[in-house]
Chain A
Amino acid sequence: KQEVTQIPAALSVPEGENLVLNCSFTDSAIYNLQWFRQDPGKGLTSLLLIQSSQREQTSGRLNASLDKSSGRSTLYIAASQPGDSATYLCAVLRSNYQLIWGAGTKLIIKP
């Protein structure tokens, strides 16, 4: 059974700092892994998608890595801004095309 864990559950850092969010999964048989952002009461925004054959993806200040062998992914946010405050979710896509979600990391960037 695939399980996805995100650590920490919450994180608060001053503006301008670089930070790393962690996601681990128990079964390495995945199609891809996605990172999402969710603002309070809102839907999901897809940030980065890493295919199982890829090692990392970058978009602006965001960089996501994937290590299937160790069952880990990280989301690196450079030069954090207050607008980055949100809950960040990672999800893995299983071979039966179902997404398994982590519980999320609530990020607060203090001005």
Chain B
Amino acid sequence: GAVVSQHPSRVICKSGTSVKIECRSLDFQATTMFWYRQFPKQSLMLMATSNEGSKATYEQGVEKDKFLINHASLTLSTLTVTSAHPEDSSFYICSARDLRGGIETQYFGPGTRLLVL
């Protein structure tokens, strides 16, 4: 299987600061990456679809100015939580779409736990 990394794995920040999370596909090129968030005891929720070289597509209810997504290369997408507040504390997971061999699948990063104080 393919490998997707996320950095950092855990971050604690003060309210009002911005936090950048990186998602990298290490051994394949991903034209599409996805960002999810998960609140405790709840399922994952898709936040946005990140397409290389174009603007991200956000799900309903997700503020694009709050969660900035940049997919500048075929192996890297970044999610920036701007002016973070305690309610943004969550587990953020990215995935990368893999189309090699004509089979559609997604590989997931290990997640980033964000705690906003």
The answer to whether B104 and A46 have CB atoms under 8 Å apart is no
Question: B105 within 8 Å of A by Cβ?
Answer: yes
Which of A34, A98, A102 has most B Cβ within 10 Å?
A98
The answer to whether A43 and B34 have CB atoms under 8 Å apart is no
Q: State A16–B60 Cα separation when bound (angstroms).
A: 44
B residues whose Cβ falls under 8 Å from a Cβ of A: 1, 6, 32, 34, 42-46, 49, 91, 93, 95, 97, 103-111, 113
The answer to whether A46 and B107 have CB atoms under 8 Å apart is yes
A residues whose Cβ falls under 8 Å from a Cβ of B: 31-32, 34, 36, 41-44, 46, 49, 51, 89, 91, 93, 97-99, 101-104
Interchain residue pairs with CB less than 8 A apart (16): A32-B104, A41-B113, A43-B108, A43-B110, A46-B1, A89-B43, A93-B105, A97-B106, A98-B34, A98-B46, A99-B34, A99-B46, A101-B43, A101-B44, A101-B45, A104-B43
The answer to whether A51 and B34 have CB atoms under 8 Å apart is no
The answer to whether A97 and B43 have CB atoms under 8 Å apart is no
B residues in contact with A97, CB < 8 Å: 32, 97, 104, 106
Chain B nearest CB from A94 CB (Å) reads 10
User: In terms of DSSP, what is the predominant structure of the interface of chain A?
Assistant: strand
Q: State A101–B106 Cα separation when bound (angstroms).
A: 13
User: In terms of DSSP, what is the predominant structure of the interface of chain B?
Assistant: strand
B residues in contact with A101, CB < 8 Å: 43-45
B residues in contact with A34, CB < 8 Å: 105
A residues in contact with B1, CB < 8 Å: 46
A-B contact sample (10 more), CB < 8 A, given A44-B93, A101-B45: A42-B110, A43-B109, A43-B111, A91-B44, A93-B104, A93-B105, A93-B106, A97-B104, A97-B106, A99-B34
A residues in contact with B104, CB < 8 Å: 31-32, 93, 97
